[in-house]
Amino acid sequence: MTQDSHAAILAQAREAFASRGLLRCSLRVSLGERLYSVRCDEECFSVYRVNDKPFLPPGLPGWMVCRLSAQECFSLDQDEKACALPQTPEQLAQARAWLELVLEHLPAEDA
Three-state secondary structure call for residue 26: strand
Return the DSSP state at 49.
E
In what side-by-side order are the strands of the sheet with 63-69?
Answer: 26-31, 34-40, 44-49, 63-69, 73-75
pLDDT value of position 45: 96
pLDDT of 50-64, one tens digit each?
887 767 666 567 888
Every domain of the chain and the residues it spans: 3-103
The whole model's pTM is what? 0.82
